[in-house]
Structure 1
Amino acid sequence: MRQLLLAITLGLTATAALAGPGHDGGEQDIPESEIDRTIEVKAGDLWFKPDDLSIAPGETVKFVIENIGQIEHEFVIGAADEQQEHREMMQDMASSDGGHHDMSADHHSTGDNVMPAVTVASGETKTLVWTAPDTANHDLIYACNIPGHFEGGMHGELNVKD
């Protein structure tokens, strides 16, 4: 059991070490004047606050994610099926190569799907600027897909509504 915990801890540490500047640096080249709203998100160990969010179609939001927990977390926006696919990829990588996955871009990619994402180490704050789809009735999820985190409660609904 101790070896398993050590392997998981080292895998999470390696994931942070491999995170490229785009994934960790969620600041996009969008002028502050084009940001419609700033939303502060707290990430604790296995929870996000707020629990759910509503965003207007086409609204550009600057998420300020503060990790007040003891371990690394990620904040990823995507549809439920995209999140599931990403979670499975993360689990496969954790079990096959010690938790490494490519975070070298500003977004997570799963097949043809691109999801905005940022990884936040314990005690750090990162930002992610995102523009909602132009049409209403998009039900998205924000989540941490590090193995076990989503299942532990690290997710919320992000509803795009008028």
Structure 2
Amino acid sequence: MKLFRKTSVLFACVVLAGAAAGPAVAHGDKKHSSAPVVKEQKEWGIAGDAAAVKRIIEVSMGDDMRFQPGKLDIKEGETIRFRVKNTGKLLHEFVIGTKAENAKHAELMMKFPGMEHDEPYMAHVNPGKSGDIVWTFNRAGTFEFACLIAGHFQAGMVGTITVAAN
């Protein structure tokens, strides 16, 4: 009985400590987990399979708060590997979403600049480094990519993705 009580107290402490620490997710210098990508349908598509990549689009982002290129044309159904290079000296990110979704997330980032997250449509890239996203655009429409680091989105670090229907 005494051992059960000690074990229960220890277990409760571990659970409470984990809850206080919050969810474990990656951002910035932290490594992304090696867990399989959770595929969740979004308005702008779904996480893609590397074997289905039809082309690679290289995008650079810099401290001038701009992406190069700033406009991308994609065909509905295409699976793209985005190779995103940070040419600046600041942390930048490449986040795919709708205009409304990115604006909402950017507002949250202003309130909570240290907010941590790790989604398959986001790449957080340290200065001088590159990151990849594999994404399937299975819905036509106009979407955007943006850097949602506090102040970057507000400075105009946004690009447009046009997905043409087949």
TM-score (norm 1): 0.71
The CA distance in 1 between the partners of 2:76 and 2:49, in whole Å, is: 18
Partner of 2:152: 149
Q: Residues 91-145 of structure 1: CA distance to partner in whole angstroms, max 9, x if unpaired?
A: 1103xxxxx2122x334xxxxxxxx101000000111000002x42x11000001
Of structures 1 and 2, the one with the larger relative CO (CA 8 A, separation 6+) is 1
**Which runs of 5 or more structure 1 residues have no equivalent in the other structure?**
1-14, 95-99, 108-115
| Counterpart contact for 1:22–1:106, Cα < 8 Å | no
| Residue 24 (structure 2) pairs with residue 21 (structure 1) | no
What's the RMSD between the two structures over aligned residues?
2.1
SS of aligned partner of 1:91: helix
Report the identity percentage: 33
The CA distance in 1 between the partners of 2:149 and 2:119, in whole Å, is: 17
1:101 to 100, 115, 122: 115
Q: What is the Cα deviation at residue 22 of structure 1?
A: 4.6
**How many residues are treated as equivalent by the alignment?**
127
Partner AA of 2:137 in structure 1: A
Q: What is the Cα deviation at residue 16 of structure 1?
A: 2.0
Q: Residues 9-61 of structure 1: CA distance to partner in whole angstroms, max 9, x if unpaired?
A: xxxxxx524x45159xx9x78243x1011000011111100010011001100
**Which runs of 5 or more structure 2 residues have no equivalent in the other structure?**
1-26, 38-46
Partner of 1:125: 130
Q: 1:48 to 1:156 in 2, by over 3 A?
A: same
The CA distance in 2 between the partners of 1:20 and 1:85, in whole Å, is: 25
The structure with more radius of gyration: 2
| Counterpart contact for 2:48–2:136, Cα < 8 Å | no
Partner of 2:56: 38
Q: What is the Cα deviation at residue 151 of structure 1?
A: 2.1
The CA distance in 1 between the partners of 2:163 and 2:59, in whole Å, is: 17
Partner AA of 2:56 in structure 1: T
Which structure has greater helix proportion?
1
The CA distance in 2 between the partners of 1:117 and 1:125, in whole Å, is: 13
Residue correspondence of structure 1 range 4-15 to structure 2 within 5 A = none
TM-score (norm 2): 0.70
The CA distance in 2 between the partners of 1:21 and 1:71, in whole Å, is: 19
SS of aligned partner of 1:16: coil
The CA distance in 2 between the partners of 1:129 and 1:22, in whole Å, is: 16
SS of aligned partner of 2:88: coil
